[in-house]
């Protein structure tokens, strides 16, 4: 195992091509206080003959029994179709990205939305990875989970507005705290026909734009 034997505050699991090994995920779980996983690392399949990439149901993977050891699971809207959201959200926080509509957050006791930042989409490459980077950085900084999702949305929005591998300027990185603080977040308890959950009400205090 190439991961040094030491304690980590946060472990980030992002699949490349064929995903991640079960042993690798187990080791990250053992050494990291918090574990963030991109679901495609667990559910992506590659046909050995055609090379076509597909997805399988999360409950059919070898990783399913480890879900209770994962703290945050991120999925794109199409990937969420292969997840039993109600069951999975009982043991972790599930973040489903919905493009220009932002993200929907599911956990045991609540469900709420965090909207996207205004952006002109020109290329989706790197958007998911940029979201995970911003979200994980927010968690590492110790900000509340909702604020970490905002950071993820911020960098995801910057990524889709560029062609190819996204590049971020120093001023954009430095402005994350200011940008995050310009968003008013209010949670309200509401009654749902089947469960009780929280609704995140977000009001933009200004039009947020990427800074040069």
CATH code of the domain made up of 8-204: 3.40.1190.20
Burial of 183 (0-12, 13-18, 19+ CB in 10 A): buried
Give 120-178 pLDDT, tens digit per residue.
888 888 888 899 999 999 999 888 888 899 899 988 988 888 888 877 777 776 766 66
| Angstrom distances, CA of residue 109 to CA of 4, 71, 94, 193 | 36, 15, 12, 14
Catalytic residues, which ones?
A: 129
DSSP state for residue 117 in the 8-state scheme: P
Q: Summarize pLDDT for 37-87 with one digit per residue, the tens.
A: 999 999 999 888 998 889 999 999 999 999 999 999 999 999 999 999 999
């Amino acid at each position: 195992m190439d991961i040094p034997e030491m304690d980590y505050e946060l472990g980030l699991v992002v699949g490349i091509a064929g995903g991640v090994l079960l042993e690798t995920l187990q080791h990250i779980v053992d050494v990291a206080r918090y574990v963030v996983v991109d679901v495609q690392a667990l559910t992506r399949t590659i046909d050995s003959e055609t090379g076509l990439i597909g997805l399988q149901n999360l409950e059919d993977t070898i990783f399913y029994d480890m879900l209770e050891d994962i703290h945050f699971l991120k999925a794109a809207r199409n990937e969420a179709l292969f997840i039993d959201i109600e069951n999975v959200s009982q043991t972790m926080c599930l973040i489903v990205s919905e493009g220009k509509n932002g993200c929907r957050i599911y956990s045991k006791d609540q469900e709420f939305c965090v909207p996207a930042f205004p952006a002109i989409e020109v290329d989706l490459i790197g958007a998911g990875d940029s979201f995970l980077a911003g979200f994980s950085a927010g968690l590492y900084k110790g900000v509340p989970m909702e604020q970490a999702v905002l950071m993820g949305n911020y960098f995801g929005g910057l990524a889709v507005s560029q062609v190819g591998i996204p590049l971020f300027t120093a001023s954009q990185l430095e402005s994350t705290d200011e940008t995050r603080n310009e968003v008013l977040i209010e949670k309200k308890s509401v009654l749902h026909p089947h469960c009780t959950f929280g609704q995140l009400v977000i009001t933009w205090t200004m039009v947020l734009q990427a800074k040069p």
